[in-house]
Structure 1
Amino acid sequence: MTTSPFAEQNPGLTGADLALAAASAAAAVLPSVDPLVAAGAQPGNEHVVASFSGAAITELDGARTGRIAVLVGDELTGALASSPIDGLDLAAATQPALDAIAATLGASARAAQTVSLDLVLSDLGPDFTVVPLIGAGIAASVLIQDRLLVAAATNAAPEAPFAETLPPAPSAPAPNTPTPSTPAVAPVETPAANVTPLPTRGIEMLHGVDMEVTVELGRTRMTVRDLLALTPGAVLELDRAAGSPADLLVNGRLIARGEVVVVDEDFGLRLTEIIDDSAAG
Structure 2
Amino acid sequence: MNPTATVNDQQAVAELARLLPSPVPLAPRRAGEFERPAPDATAVVATFVGQTSAELMVVAQQSVTDAMAGAGALSLAEALRPALEAASRTLGPGVLGTAETRPAGEVFTGPGTVVYALDAGVATQAWFGIRAKGSAADAAAPAAPLPSGAMRVLYDVEMTLTTEIGRTRLPVRDVLELTPGAVLELDRSAGSPADVMVNGRLVARGEVVVVDDEYAVRITEIVSTENLG
What residue number does 2:120 align with? 135
TM-superposed CA distance for 1:43, in Å, is: 6.8
Matched residues, number: 144
What residue number does 1:74 align with? 62
8 A Cα contact 2:21 2:67, kept in partner: no
Q: Which moved more, 1:97-106 or 1:25-34?
A: 97-106
8 A Cα contact 2:39 2:103, kept in partner: no
Q: 1:21 to 1:84 in 2, by over 3 A?
A: closer
Of the three residues 46, 49, 65, the one matched with 1:58 is 46
Return the alpha-carbon distance in structure 2 between the equivalents of residues 127 and 44 of structure 1. 12
TM-superposed CA distance for 1:114, in Å, is: 1.6
Secondary structure at the counterpart of residue 111 of structure 2: coil
8 A Cα contact 1:38 1:133, kept in partner: yes
TM-superposed CA distance for 1:54, in Å, is: 3.0
TM-superposed CA distance for 1:72, in Å, is: 1.0
TM-superposed CA distance for 1:146, in Å, is: 4.4
For structure 1, the residue ranges without an aligned partner over 5 or more in a row are 1-13, 153-202, 209-263, 269-281
Return the alpha-carbon distance in structure 1 between the equivalents of residues 33 and 85 of structure 2. 21
Return the alpha-carbon distance in structure 2 between the equivalents of residues 100 and 150 of structure 1. 23
Q: How does 1:104-115 map to 2 (within 5 A)?
A: 104-106=90-92, 107-115=94-102
Q: 1:108 to 1:37 in 2, by over 3 A?
A: farther
8 A Cα contact 2:43 2:58, kept in partner: yes
Q: 1:51 to 1:31 in 2, by over 3 A?
A: farther
Of the three residues 68, 77, 80, the one matched with 1:94 is 80
- What letter corresponds to residue 91 of structure 2 in structure 1? L
TM-superposed CA distance for 1:138, in Å, is: 1.3
8 A Cα contact 2:118 2:128, kept in partner: yes
For structure 2, the residue ranges without an aligned partner over 5 or more in a row are 143-170, 177-208, 216-229
Q: C-alpha root-mean-square deviation of aligned residues, in Å?
A: 3.7
- What letter corresponds to residue 22 of structure 2 in structure 1? S
% identical aligned pairs: 25
Q: 1:121 to 1:109 in 2, by over 3 A?
A: same
Say yes or no: does 1:36 pair with 2:23: no
What residue number does 1:145 align with? 131
Return the alpha-carbon distance in structure 1 between the equivalents of residues 100 and 89 of structure 2. 18
Moved over 6 A (4+): 264-268
